[in-house]
Structure 1
Amino acid sequence: MAAKKQYTAIVLGASGLVGKALLYQLCQDDKYSNITCLLRSPLAQRDYHDPLNKIQAIVIDFDYLQDYQGYFTVDHVYCCLGTTIKKAGSKKAFRRIDFEFVHVAAQLARAQRASSFVWISSVGANAKSNNFYLRVKGELENAILTMPQLDNAAAVRPSVLLGDRKEYRQGEAIAANILKLISPIMLGPLAKYRPVHAQQVAAQMISLQVFK
């Protein structure tokens, strides 16, 4: 019997809410043999469970992400990078992280011929939106999904995320509490606006990758 193929992956943003959930699931997934994480700061051991030593964690300066192109020679690229305008400090800084860094990651995935590229967008993403956050997310979707020679690119579009964050985000916490209360009546077109657990988003990201 032929040995089952194993896959390699790179994760950007593994220390965030979805990133941590994703890293946990990848470590438990026997389809993956090696997981490279590019991070701003070292992973805290309490944040992941890696009994088979799959993780290679590398601290980098994302302003020079293009210098780490060689690490993108993997099967699957997962991009969980993202912030808020408040945390970034300005719209310009927010766009730098949520658009430019993710766009560069997609270009590196293409250059190294990764099998697939999956990233986190947002429900309501629209390049023509009057909302700056949703407009940036929509512009990024347009830029990546029309990128030539980038095979199998896909975005997940979660609503408000549920889970334990390192930092407290008051606006998201209030929205999550309200949406949890009314979630049972959010049916049909409104269902996509239900709050979603980080673990569910991570599982969806894995399901969108190409295994061949």
Structure 2
Amino acid sequence: MARVLITGATGLVGGELLQLLQAEPQVTAIIAPTRKPLPPHSKLENPVGDDLSALLAALEQPVEVVFCCLGTTRRQAGSAAAFRYIDYQLVVETALAGRRLGAQHCLVVSAIGANPHSLFLYNRTKGEMEQALCAQNWPSLTLVRPSMLLGRAKPRLLEWLSVPLFALLPGKWRSIAAKDVAQTLLTQAFRSDNGVKILESDQLR
């Protein structure tokens, strides 16, 4: 039986994962700090506030598993600095909070093409985030790298235009349903593998 911490529970993958965690018998409690309140559930502890860093720092009860499903784009965030704060700093802080609370397994949604040496801000930030998490020396660290995510009620314009193309691409470049990513996270969470595991998009279906 496990207590879990999840950030990004109001997002696309995080929302799917939250539903799975609520239905999972092995999960006894879900700690999900968010900016906006989540629908109540018997397993759910939902600290609410605008400062996720402060919410994470205030957590005291132990957890066994930590999930991070945070993610945005530069356009949504409003600036490169705001994007990096969400996709790098808050992800690292989520993992550190999990370590402090005793978690043994950290599972994080990264992105296809994550590369700390990339010329592109998005891919470079994801790669640097992965490096930072590896440096935390987790007993078990799982990084998933989905391609274009499907499942938004209102797809972003670029996503809407790109969906037909990504549906035809081979292997790891083909678009993937957010619920498939969430299911992979849940399945991997209770495996006994040690070390760092990186799962590309074609391994998430």
Is the alpha carbon distance of 1:128 and 1:93 closer, same or farther for their aligned partners in structure 2, counting shifts above 3 Å?
same
User: What TM-score, normalized to structure 2?
Assistant: 0.87
Give the match for residue 36 of structure 1: 31
Query: For 1:3-152, what aligned pairs fall within 5 Å after superposition?
Result: 6-44=1-39, 50=41, 53-60=42-49, 61-71=51-61, 73-148=62-137, 150-152=138-140
Task: Tell me, yes or no, if structure 1 residue 201 matches structure 2 residue 173.
Answer: no
Q: How far is 1:63 from its partner?
A: 4.0
For residue 39 of structure 1, give the secondary structure of its aligned residue in structure 2: coil
Alignment identity in percent? 33
C-alpha distance in 1, partners of 2:100/2:32? 18
Aligned residues: 191
For residue 163 of structure 2, give the secondary structure of its aligned residue in structure 1: helix
Is the alpha carbon distance of 1:19 and 1:136 closer, same or farther for their aligned partners in structure 2, counting shifts above 3 Å?
same
Higher helix fraction (1 or 2): 1
- Supply the AA of the counterpart residue of 1:151: P
- Supply the AA of the counterpart residue of 1:172: E
Give the match for residue 163 of structure 2: 176
C-alpha distance in 2, partners of 1:82/1:70? 25
Q: How far is 1:122 from its partner?
A: 0.3
CA contact (8 A) 1:127 1:138 kept: yes
Larger Rg computed on CA atoms = 1
User: What TM-score, normalized to structure 1?
Assistant: 0.84
C-alpha distance in 1, partners of 2:4/2:16? 15
Long gaps (5+) in structure 1? 1-5
C-alpha distance in 2, partners of 1:169/1:34? 33
C-alpha distance in 2, partners of 1:157/1:68? 30
Long gaps (5+) in structure 2? 193-205
- Tell which deviates more after alignment, 199-208 or 127-136: 199-208
CA contact (8 A) 1:12 1:80 kept: yes
Give the match for residue 3 of structure 1: none
Task: Tell me, yes or no, if structure 1 residue 156 matches structure 2 residue 144.
Answer: yes
- Supply the AA of the counterpart residue of 1:20: G
C-alpha distance in 1, partners of 2:54/2:135? 24
C-alpha distance in 2, partners of 1:32/1:44? 18
C-alpha distance in 2, partners of 1:15/1:169? 16
C-alpha distance in 2, partners of 1:108/1:33? 19
C-alpha distance in 1, partners of 2:56/2:27? 25
Moved over 4 A (4+): none
CA contact (8 A) 1:122 1:157 kept: yes
Q: How far is 1:168 from its partner?
A: 4.0
- Supply the AA of the counterpart residue of 1:171: L
For residues 48-68 of structure 1, give each alpha carbon's deviation from its aligned partner in whole angstroms, at most 9, with x where no partner exists: xx5xx1112221321424522
For residues 34-80 of structure 1, give each alpha carbon's deviation from its aligned partner in whole angstroms, at most 9, with x where no partner exists: 111110111256xxxx5xx1112221321424522425x21111111
